Amino acid sequence: MDCSQVRRYVSAFMDEELDGEKQNRVAGHLAGCRECAQYFREYARVDARLSELPRIDAAPGFASRVMAAAAEHAAAPEAASPLSRLLRIFAGIFEEITRIFEPGHRPDTRILDEFDDCPPLSMSFAYLNLLQQSPRG
Amino acid sequence: MNDPDLILLEGIARGDQGAFESLIGRYQGPLHNFIGRYVGDASLAEDIAQEVFIRVFRAARRFEPRTRVSTWIFRIAYNLSMTELDRLRRRQKIREAVEEHGEGGEPACEPAERLELEEELTAALEQLPGNQRAALLLRVNEGLSYREIGQVLGVSLQSVESLLHRARSNLKRYLEKS
């Protein structure tokens, strides 16, 4: 294993994430190569400095605030996703269509009754005729 | 799968408040540290960490144990942090555009009590691309394995190896320059 290969693996070597054989070969090379050993030490120093950073921790009372927020979420109904809203709309349309063909179904003509007449060749005239209903009730 | 967090998650799914409190206790420290270092803002970390736990609470019932619970939690944290950083960058661009036109804005100031060393390192970390920074923080500060980091970031093992190599190399260079 030459120096350029070792330097490519040095990061994974530090993390002990190379397979056993590769890990041993890198270790063997570092033991006998001062330049690569220096390269390894510089990488290790980066990790050491990073580990020295003070840890950012939760402020006091964080857990209680989360518990309270979660309780609020549990009490509130979950907002419907766009897909579920669309499915609900289609389900409503499907239900309306099947209801028309149910035996004994009588169309509600109250809205039409508010008008004086259903014009011939209109959709409402055809619809009521199909159902053998008089446009005038 | 022998994942102790899975027992807590099952408890949360059944509505056990104690299980939820225990899970918060186990992860509030690691999450604050990871998010805080990733976004470079401790107070923002608190808001994001809270949102992570709310999402865990709401999705506990739907969790499928194909990955460890810890990996799943860090993945939520990573995704939310990325989204928040993008939002902040967009807002920053707008603010800069406004300031260019002479409409004011207070100059940003660093807290005086910050140690120089920490400041240098924080600045160097912020210069790393987001995925390199996240990989390095998860590895060095939180001790995740390459496989776990891959699951958090949604990348292959080879990519994790490469991300960490480049992150260390870049960080070394930034620190030498400063």
Task: Tell me: do B78 and B53 sit in the same domain.
Answer: yes
Final residue belonging to a domain, choices B108, B137, B158: B108
Dist. CA A114–CA A23, nearest whole Å: 88
Dist. CA B107–CA A64, nearest whole Å: 35
- The pTM for the full model equals 0.72
**B46–A62: do the CB atoms touch at under 8 Å?**
yes
**A53–B164: do the CB atoms touch at under 8 Å?**
no
Contacts of A10 in chain B (CB under 8 A): 165
Task: Tell me: do B98 and B177 sit in the same domain.
Answer: no
Task: Tell me: do B92 and B151 sit in the same domain.
Answer: no
Contacts of B42 in chain A (CB under 8 A): 56
Which amino acid would we find at residue A9? Y
Task: Tell me: do B57 and B144 sit in the same domain.
Answer: no
Paired tokens of A135: 């446009």
Is residue B95 within 8 A of residue B105, CB to CB? The reply is: yes
Distance of CA A73 to the CA centre of its chain: 18
Which amino acid would we find at residue B80? L
Q: Would you give the DSSP letter of residue A56?
A: P
**Per-residue model confidence (pLDDT) at position B177:** 81
Q: List the beta strands (DSSP E) in chain B.
A: none
Dist. CA A79–CA A85, nearest whole Å: 10
Task: Tell me: do B125 and B60 sit in the same domain.
Answer: no
Tokens 């240098």, located at residue = B120
ipTM over 0.85: no
Domain count of chain B? 2
Task: Tell me: do B74 and B122 sit in the same domain.
Answer: no
* Residue ranges for chain A with pLDDT beneath 70: 76-80, 99-121, 124-125, 128-137
Dist. CA A19–CA A2, nearest whole Å: 18
**B172–A46: do the CB atoms touch at under 8 Å?**
yes
Dist. CA B78–CA B31, nearest whole Å: 10
H or E, element range at A123: helix A123-130
pLDDT tens per residue across all 178 residues of chain B? 578 899 999 999 999 999 999 999 999 999 999 999 999 988 899 999 999 999 999 999 999 888 899 999 999 999 999 999 888 887 777 666 666 654 444 444 454 445 677 888 899 999 999 999 999 999 999 999 999 999 999 999 999 999 999 999 999 999 888 7
Task: Tell me: do B100 and B148 sit in the same domain.
Answer: no
Task: Tell me: do B119 and B63 sit in the same domain.
Answer: no
Final residue belonging to a domain, choices B108, B138, B161: B108
Task: Tell me: do B88 and B124 sit in the same domain.
Answer: no
For chain A, domain boundaries: 3-52, 103-137
Contacts of B168 in chain A (CB under 8 A): 11, 43, 46-47
Q: Residue B68: which domain range?
A: 1-108
| Min distance A95 CA to chain B CA atoms (Å) | 30
Measure the CA angle with vertex B75, ends B71 and B79; round to 5°.
175
**A46–B145: do the CB atoms touch at under 8 Å?**
no
CATH number at residue B9: 1.10.1740.10
Task: Tell me: do B4 and B78 sit in the same domain.
Answer: yes
Measure the CA angle with vertex B133, ends A54 and B143; round to 5°.
60
Helix (H), strand (E), coil (C) string for B131-173? HHHHHHHHHHHCCCCHHHHHHHHCCCHHHHHHHHHHHHHHHHH
Dist. CA B165–CA B14, nearest whole Å: 43
**Per-residue model confidence (pLDDT) at position B108:** 44
Dist. CA B138–CA B153, nearest whole Å: 10
Residue from B143, B134, B129 nearest A15 by CA? B143
Task: Tell me: do B17 and B94 sit in the same domain.
Answer: yes
User: A54-88: per-residue pLDDT in tens?
Assistant: 999 999 999 999 999 988 877 765 556 777 778 87
**Per-residue model confidence (pLDDT) at position B116:** 77
Q: Would you give the DSSP letter of residue B107?
A: P
